[in-house]
């Protein structure tokens, strides 16, 4: 068990957290990043990033986060591989404790805990997570080489996962509950042009079916929400990409959250209701854009530094 003291504690290591750390280090502030359970944040699961400025060629989310991590290290950012599990914002300096039993005392805090994957909520989905059900095509796509898979969702994440999977699989069934996608035009165009992808509009997944021993997905039953017609699809993998929810449970008793669970920050900045506590990135906005998160991280750090 260790006791850490800092002027600025940054909770989370996605683009927002790292950028906040970079700005704090360059300002000579005694700052610490506690990386969290998924170092690098959600972006490490992104197959392709082509809209982060500064890279003329597309790169994977993992590679982008590796570069940002290295940049932070080179600038002297201190990063602890641990996860904050409890915060106390009633007293000042604030005290947080971690999964490893460490305690962190700090004058200011930037919350950059990001967001987590939403699941469909089917018992069969829970049963087969890690055995054919996944939320990450980049991580698991190669397991389905030559097979048929389904992707659920109609946003950017689902469409990008479907496209990525066509590098490995024979066929992708894209299941969406409505008759239009809410993804960028350029991504939709690639989907419509890809002959390995078959779209099932107005359909939801009723059940994921598989074997017991070994636990393996063998298919899904989908239902047309307009006609109620059911259909069985033979698939070995199911990729759920229906959005995310912000990781804010730990802060609920201290901070104002909106109806989506996002931390409410004051206009023109990243300050929360509690002086000295700031929020940045996906935890306080639903855009899920690395560049926006990075910008928020920079702004939160500048604000924290000026108010220390
Ligand atoms: P999203 O845009 O919220 O899309 C979620 C999709 O899942 C929607 O099509 C939604 O259907 C569907 N859905 C939600 N709950 C469902 C349920 N229970 N059952 C079946 N379908 C369900 O989420 P996202 O795709 O993760 O994207 C989130 C944000 O990140 C967006 O702003 C997106 O542009 C951004 N993003 C950007 C990039 C990029 O720039 N490269 C990559 C990924 C994500 P409805 O449409 O019917 O609600």
pLDDT tens sequence across 99-123: 999 999 999 999 999 999 999 999 9
Ligand 1 centroid–CA 173 distance in Å is 17
The model's confidence at residue 25, banded by pLDDT at 50, 70 and 90, is very high
pLDDT at 268: 86
Which among 288, 289, 291, 292 is the best mutation to test ligand 1's pocket, defined by most ligand atoms within 8 Å of the CB?
Answer: 288
Rounded to an integer, the average pLDDT of 125-142 is 92
CB atoms within 10 A of CB 213: 5
- DSSP secondary structure code for residue 153 in this structure: -
Answer whether 3-115+245-307 and 123-240 agree in fold.
yes
Do residues 263 and 248 lie in contact, with contact meaning Cβ atoms separated by under 8 Å? yes
Q: Which atom of ligand 1 is nearest to the CA of 176?
A: 21
213: Cβ contacts below 8 Å, ≥ 6 apart: none
- 284 assigned to active site: no
- Domain residue spans of the chain: 3-115+245-307, 123-240
Ligand 1 centroid–CA 183 distance in Å is 8
Indicate the fold that domain 123-240 takes in CATH.
FAD/NAD(P)-binding domain (3.50.50)
Q: Which atom of ligand 1 is nearest to the CA of 184?
A: 34
Catalytic: which of 63, 91, 96, 136?
A: 136
pLDDT in tens, 176-203: 999 999 999 999 999 999 999 999 999 9
pLDDT at 138: 85
User: Where does residue 177 fall: left (phi above 0), alpha (psi -120 to 50 degrees), or beta otherwise?
Assistant: alpha
pLDDT at 45: 77
pLDDT at 81: 97
pLDDT at 18: 98
d(CA 47, CA 148): 19
User: CATH for 3-115+245-307, among 3.50.50.60, 3.30.1050.10, 3.20.20.100, 3.30.300.30?
Assistant: 3.50.50.60
Residues 58, 61, 66, 69, CA torsion sign: positive
pLDDT at 139: 82
Picking from 264, 240, 238, the residue whose alpha carbon sits closest to that of residue 251 is 264
d(CA 256, CA 114): 16
Catalytic: which of 139, 234, 258, 273?
A: 139
The model's confidence at residue 274, banded by pLDDT at 50, 70 and 90, is very high
Tell me the pLDDT of the chain averaged across its residues.
96
The model's confidence at residue 46, banded by pLDDT at 50, 70 and 90, is confident
């Amino acid at each position: 068990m260790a006791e850490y003291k800092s002027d600025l504690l940054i909770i989370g290591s996605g683009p927002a957290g790292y950028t906040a750390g970079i700005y704090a280090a360059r300002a000579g502030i005694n700052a610490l990043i506690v990386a969290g359970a998924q170092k690098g944040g959600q972006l490490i699961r992104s197959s392709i990033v082509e809209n982060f400025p500064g890279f003329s060629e597309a790169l994977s989310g993992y590679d982008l986060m590796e570069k940002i991590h290295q940049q932070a290290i080179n600038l002297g950012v201190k990063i602890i591989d641990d996860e904050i599990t409890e915060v106390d914002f009633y007293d000042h300096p604030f005290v947080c404790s971690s999964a490893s039993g460490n305690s962190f005392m700090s004058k200011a805090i930037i919350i950059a805990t990001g967001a987590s994957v939403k699941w469909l909520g089917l018992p069969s989905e829970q049963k087969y997570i890690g055995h054919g059900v996944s939320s990450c095509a980049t991580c698991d796509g190669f397991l389905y080489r030559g097979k048929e898979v389904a992707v659920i969702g109609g946003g950017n994440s689902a469409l990008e996962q479907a496209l990525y999977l066509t590098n490995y699989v024979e066929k992708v069934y894209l299941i969406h509950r409505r008759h239009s996608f809410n993804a960028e035009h350029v991504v939709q165009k690639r989907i419509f042009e890809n002959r390995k992808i078959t779209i099932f509009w107005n359909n939801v997944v009723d059940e994921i079916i598989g074997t017991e021993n070994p636990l393996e997905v063998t298919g899904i039953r989908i239902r047309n929400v307009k006609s109620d017609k059911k259909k069985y699809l033979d698939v070995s993998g199911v990729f759920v990409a229906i959005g995310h929810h912000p990781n804010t449970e730990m802060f609920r008793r201290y901070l104002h959250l909106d109806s989506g669970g996002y931390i409410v920050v004051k206009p023109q900045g990243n300050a929360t209701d509690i002086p000295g506590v700031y929020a940045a990135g996906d935890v306080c906005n639903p855009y899920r854009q690395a560049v926006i998160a990075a910008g928020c991280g920079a702004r939160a750090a500048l604000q924290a530094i000026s108010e220390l």
